[in-house]
Structure 1
């Protein structure tokens, strides 16, 4: 007897403006210190459906919500996070930007999301590639499990954002209940290294403007995968992203996005970019050009080869043994097609 063909994936719905989610990029970071509890709380209060935040791990195994591998840019601290302990060192570091805030631990953000009033909010965990994924995922697995009913109340709201394919097997081994999205810049690299193992893609907005990007969105939708875009702060880019009917837009300006989104819901014509600029939009910024996209893809490849905790050639992840965890790689869609 011949093999039974796998069922075709359910296409991702084209979302109406009311269903396009807003995720606070590092919280409400346009106005508050990025990746702090104050920023996360403000984003939720302003109406964010999700929070995007980055993670690094200290020398004593504490997972921090922090973007850079070093403390220097945004805080009073100095040096690499991975070489310093939380206890008595990084716990005393404060943000340069006011209102002055400490660096939050992963468990503190989980506690915030588990408050009854916040149990609708997603968390997109941007796993920075400078960290050892085995150590990071083992430690991060312990924090959600400290909460009652975490498998039903929390795990469905957590998304692992993976920049490098070397993170895929550890994610499957230690956090199999969590969804996996590739975070990156290049649709081509997303197809090559992450298509079979990830349910969605969080890609730079500018890289999706143009024929290649739009074809990637169409192919992802047909394959039942989600698309999110970052970091969208310009109102005309917000309009364009909403018009793509994707899952989520990541923005530093949560209140501004929500205001525009509600205006579009009330008057759908406002999704169009006003005036002649609407016709010129695709040529209005050098970031949208295909030649720029080639350079950006090369830069991402170079970064993946050199910055990852284990530098070297990039190879596709070995998914053997995890076929049951991955399934068909499509997302579990929350809403019906518009």
Structure 2
């Protein structure tokens, strides 16, 4: 947490404005000047790496069922516009398509590997191979709620950058991330940042801090003031504007209360 300003990463692309995890959402993030994008990767029945958050397609498309039970060609027949119906037709993208879209930019890509419910044997190797083949290794950080997956990524490629995703109340989270998971960064839900001593411990152990999913302006202000390394949000344009208004790294308790009460 020693950079000058907090980075803004677009959560599933600029998903406040376009169907999440689609090429249009990622293109909009580029146009809005985001510093990076966050996406989710799963694997089809025929081994294609596809970008979608849920293990099923029901919430985001006009289809039903598990990603793992469809081939990629079968998934392409569905319309993935359900979170923003003003977009008339959206195909599920492959990870390779997103890489190729983002490659000409300078954006970071946070690849969340979705192995929490479906384990997808071999997905870690496939993701690493694709990233290497497309020359994106220096631009990608891998994260997962499945900490076995994060550790496996490091075992397969010790140079890979990884982030430990988690949601609630891990005791000694920073030490656990460093010593057990071997992660380069912590990716907590936003409220974890305010656990006593957490920010200080991240700095002591030199771990990056990428915080999700921050959509309320008052929370954006607090985390920018705290100087977190990246703020993951559905609204990158708003976060960028707020980010540019704040000094960094000196979050005071009275400021937290003032912002929360505003």
1:104 is matched with 93
1:23 is matched with 9
Bigger Rg, structure 1 or 2 = 1
2:228 counterpart of 1:246: yes
Residues 277-329 of structure 1, C-alpha deviation per residue, up to 9 Å, x if partnerless? 963556x6xxxxxxxxxxxxxxxxxxxxxxxxxxxxxxxxxxxxxxxxxxxxx
1:183 is matched with 165
Q: What is the CA distance between 1:46 and its match in structure 2?
A: 0.5
Query: For residues 192 and 79 of structure 1, what CA distance do their matches in structure 2 show?
Result: 39
2:66 counterpart of 1:77: no
User: Aligned residues, how many?
Assistant: 252
> Which residue, out of 91, 100, 104, partners 2:76?
91
> Which residue, out of 145, 152, 177, partners 2:132?
145
TM-score by length of 2: 0.87
Query: For residues 125 and 44 of structure 1, what CA distance do their matches in structure 2 show?
Result: 16
Seen in structure 2, the aligned counterparts of structure 1 residues 277 and 146 have a Cα distance that, compared at 3 Å, is closer
Q: What is the CA distance between 1:207 and its match in structure 2?
A: 2.5
Matched ranges for 1:25-44 at <5 A: 25-44=11-30
> Which residue, out of 172, 178, 195, partners 2:178?
195
Query: For residues 176 and 86 of structure 1, what CA distance do their matches in structure 2 show?
Result: 31
Structure 1 runs not aligned, ≥5 long:
1-11, 285-338
Query: For residues 176 and 50 of structure 2, what CA distance do their matches in structure 1 show?
Result: 27
Query: For residues 47 and 69 of structure 2, what CA distance do their matches in structure 1 show?
Result: 11
Residues 216-274 of structure 1, C-alpha deviation per residue, up to 9 Å, x if partnerless? 22101111101111111111111100011110001100111112223x16xx59x999x
Query: For residues 272 and 160 of structure 1, what CA distance do their matches in structure 2 show?
Result: 28
Seen in structure 2, the aligned counterparts of structure 1 residues 220 and 71 have a Cα distance that, compared at 3 Å, is same
Query: For residues 132 and 205 of structure 2, what CA distance do their matches in structure 1 show?
Result: 32
Q: What is the CA distance between 1:94 and its match in structure 2?
A: 1.3
Seen in structure 2, the aligned counterparts of structure 1 residues 91 and 20 have a Cα distance that, compared at 3 Å, is same
> Which residue, out of 118, 129, 132, partners 2:119?
132
Q: What is the CA distance between 1:162 and its match in structure 2?
A: 2.1
Query: For residues 194 and 187 of structure 1, what CA distance do their matches in structure 2 show?
Result: 13
Seen in structure 2, the aligned counterparts of structure 1 residues 58 and 175 have a Cα distance that, compared at 3 Å, is farther
Q: After alignment, is 56-65 or 188-197 more displaced?
A: 188-197
Contact kept in structure 1, 2:151 and 2:183, CA below 8 Å: no
2:100 counterpart of 1:114: no
1:219 is matched with 201
Contact kept in structure 1, 2:8 and 2:36, CA below 8 Å: yes
User: Residue 59 of structure 1: SS of its match in structure 2?
Assistant: coil
User: Residue 188 of structure 1: SS of its match in structure 2?
Assistant: coil
2:140 is matched with 158
Query: For residues 142 and 107 of structure 2, what CA distance do their matches in structure 1 show?
Result: 15
User: Residue 143 of structure 1: SS of its match in structure 2?
Assistant: helix
Structure 2 runs not aligned, ≥5 long:
none
Query: For residues 18 and 140 of structure 2, what CA distance do their matches in structure 1 show?
Result: 23
Q: What is the CA distance between 1:176 and its match in structure 2?
A: 3.4
